[in-house]
Amino acid sequence: MRCEVVAVGTELLLGQIVDTNSSWIGEQLALAGIDSHFQTKVGDNRDRIASSLRQALERSDAVVVCGGLGPTQDDITRDVIAEVMGVELLHDEAIEARIRAMFGSRGRAMSANNLRQAQVPAGATTIPQMPGTAPGLVCPMPPGHAHEGKVIYAVPGVPAEMREMVAGTVVPDLQRRAGVTSVIASRTLRTWGQSESGLAEMLHDEIERLDREPGATIAFLASGIEGIKVRLTAKAATAAEAEEVIAAEEAVVRSIIGDIVFGVDDETMEHAVVSLLAEQGLTLAVAESVTGGLIGSRITNVPGASKVFRGGVVAYASDVKFSVLGVPEGPVVTEECARAMADGVRKVLGADVGLGVTGVAGPDAQEDLPPGTVFFGLAIGDRVESRPVRMPGDRERIRAFSTIGLLNWLRRRLLDLE
């Protein structure tokens, strides 16, 4: 079974929206054991969408079309699918009722153009998952069609709606059509502090062993400020067997790359820090200058952070550092300032642990220091310390890398790794 993805939307071609949907769908297809060799982006043009779908049907058994199912004039995916199938659009009363009910539950009047979303190609069925007003579609090519037996799935471009439909209907239906009985399991180890090439070198012998022997596979994914991801994948007859293979390989990989692993799958650096603080019964306060509140924002994004996070002070101006945090007057992009910020915010907010960060985000130099010059401060117990770091990239990346870098330093301190 070969399946490809067609993403619809002129905004994707113009770069106004990054096409994360196609990459996510491709990942789900791989995990389901469905081959996927092509992904296409096409603008909101009837002829070009039709051409893309016909080409996809020529070389694949199934197509997932993402986007173009809304109520406006440029949402023409359902119309083009009907054209490609050679059938007419029929009005689905049940879908109309669901759309009207959604608007009614929100106390909003429904525009007449929303009824376009109740149009369904003859012979198609709607996907039962319908978190928004746009229904997804399962569209098998009709008898006598040149591609009889093949199928087009249409899902909305809204990521949350698309994911629910793909996971709930599209992938299971593809597996049923393909007769897939094996189970593929995957686990992602999230790392910080090592390059992709460095990780590949560390795991070189293990990867070569896996090439010779049955078991899991290892792949790398550079994820910017989220570090390098090491993905372990295994295929087996049952979910339990696949998980057993994954667990065994994870143990081997961890024994090789060590404590640079900070999380698994969706666990972020801030999840790791909040968890460690909670385990040790410690509270945290942060004093931010160059990061401008990013650290506090990431920490408060973690459920349960209120149990450990006292709060933060965004001391961007020098006089705020002096008057609020008790930083001695003088240069404020120094190790001494970072230490004083960490110790000061810990005292001001009554926390067990204090973090401080100051630096130059650029694009201009400051106090004769080049952009990317950053100083971390950490106060924990009777230990107040600092360290200088150099962060790469533009202003946004310097601030983001500083955020995760400081959190990783705290993580390692809490694990007593440094």
Residues 6+ apart with CB under 8 A from 366: 333, 360
Predicted confidence at residue 239, as pLDDT, reads 86
User: Pairing mode, if any, of strands 62-66 and 151-155?
Assistant: parallel
On average, the pLDDT of the chain sits at 94
Predicted confidence at residue 215, as pLDDT, reads 85
Predicted confidence at residue 418, as pLDDT, reads 58
Cα dihedral: 64, 70, 76, 79 (round 10) = 80
Predicted confidence at residue 417, as pLDDT, reads 65
| CB atoms closer than 10 angstroms to residue 155 | 27
Secondary structure class of 276 (helix, strand, coil): helix
Report, in this order, helix, strand and coil percent for the chain, each rounded to 5.
45, 25, 30
Predicted confidence at residue 382, as pLDDT, reads 87
Predicted confidence at residue 171, as pLDDT, reads 95
Predicted confidence at residue 145, as pLDDT, reads 96
On the question of pLDDT at 41 being above 80, the answer is yes
Rounded to the nearest 5°, which phi and psi values hold at 3? -130, 135
Predicted confidence at residue 201, as pLDDT, reads 96
The tens digit of pLDDT for each residue in 234-249 reads 989 888 999 999 999 9
CA distance from start to end of the chain: 51
Maximum Cα interatomic distance, the chain, rounded to a whole number of Å: 83
The tens digit of pLDDT for each residue in 166-215 reads 999 999 999 999 998 788 889 999 999 999 999 999 999 999 999 998 88
Secondary structure class of 49 (helix, strand, coil): helix
Residue ranges and CATH numbers for the domains of the chain are: 3-178 (3.40.980.10), 183-264 (3.30.70.2860), 280-414 (3.90.950.20)
Predicted confidence at residue 376, as pLDDT, reads 98
Q: DSSP string of 312-359?
A: EEE--SHHHHHHHH-PPSS-SSSHHHHHHHHHHHHHHHT-SEEEEEEE
Q: pTM (2 decimals)?
A: 0.76
Tell me the C-alpha distance between 284 and 277, whole Å.
8
Predicted confidence at residue 228, as pLDDT, reads 93
Tokens of 371: 């952009």
Kindly state the average pLDDT of the residues 348-360.
97
Name the residue with tokens 């999230």: 190
Rounded to the nearest 5°, which phi and psi values hold at 229? -100, 135
